[in-house]
């Protein structure tokens, strides 16, 4: 578990538009402030990822998603997710109209997860909101499952890594569409 000092440093980096690496349920993730366009664009450039695919945000609590997700009259979505989260499931949910395209890609949805990984949850809690969460790798490479693998693949491109171990999932978290119930990954 990272120290309070390490979490404060990570939040300072996020505040300044930087990128932080941290362990998640299955791999190391890269995160940034989802409301900061330049930070998101830097992260996409680092990963060599097409913005049109969209990104995932991760939160410590479902309340941290309230400014991002359009729960609308589908309160049943929220009730269902409250019974499943926190946990290692990512859901594609209707995005609020103001959510920028550079975050949601070509979709009217946003992928989100309320994580149960202690480090990822501690980071979102310390940050006070959701953060971008995407695997720590270039788009064509395998995701890093350790800080050493992350350093080998990205070098100094990601200067700050929160310490910790990835969770027990062998594959990235499953992604499901809330509207159809289909598993997308």
Instruction: Average pLDDT across each block of 10 residues of the chain; the chain has 185 residues. List them in order.
Output: 95 97 96 98 95 97 96 80 95 96 96 98 98 92 91 85 93 91 91
Helix (H, G, I), strand (E, B) or coil at 122: helix
pTM higher than 0.85 for the full model? yes
pLDDT given at position 74: 63
Which pLDDT belongs to residue 4?
Answer: 95
CA-only gyration radius of the chain, Å: 15
Three-state DSSP class for residue 22: strand
Q: What pLDDT, on the 0 to 100 scale, is given for residue 47?
A: 94
90, β-bridge pairs: 175
pLDDT at 86: 97
Euclidean distance between CA atoms 8 and 12, whole angstroms: 6
């Amino acid at each position: 578990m990272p120290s309070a000092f390490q979490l404060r440093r990570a939040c300072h980096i996020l505040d300044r538009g930087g990128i932080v690496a941290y362990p998640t349920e299955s791999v190391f993730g890269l995160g940034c402030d989802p409301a900061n366009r330049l930070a998101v664009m830097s992260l996409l450039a680092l990963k060599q990822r097409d913005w049109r695919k969209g990104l995932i945000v991760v939160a410590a609590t479902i309340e941290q998603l309230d400014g991002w997700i359009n729960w609308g009259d589908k309160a049943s979505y929220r009730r269902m997710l409250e019974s499943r989260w926190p946990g290692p499931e990512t859901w594609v949910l209707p995005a609020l109209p103001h959510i920028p395209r550079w975050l949601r890609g070509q979709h009217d949805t946003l992928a989100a997860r309320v994580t149960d990984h202690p480090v990822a949850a501690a980071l979102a809690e310390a940050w006070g909101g959701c953060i971008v969460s995407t695997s720590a790798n270039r788009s064509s490479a395998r995701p890093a499952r350790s800080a050493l693998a992350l350093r080998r693949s990205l070098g100094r491109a990601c200067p700050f890594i929160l310490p910790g171990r990835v969770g027990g999932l062998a594959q990235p978290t499953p992604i499901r569409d809330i509207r159809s119930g289909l598993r997308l990954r």
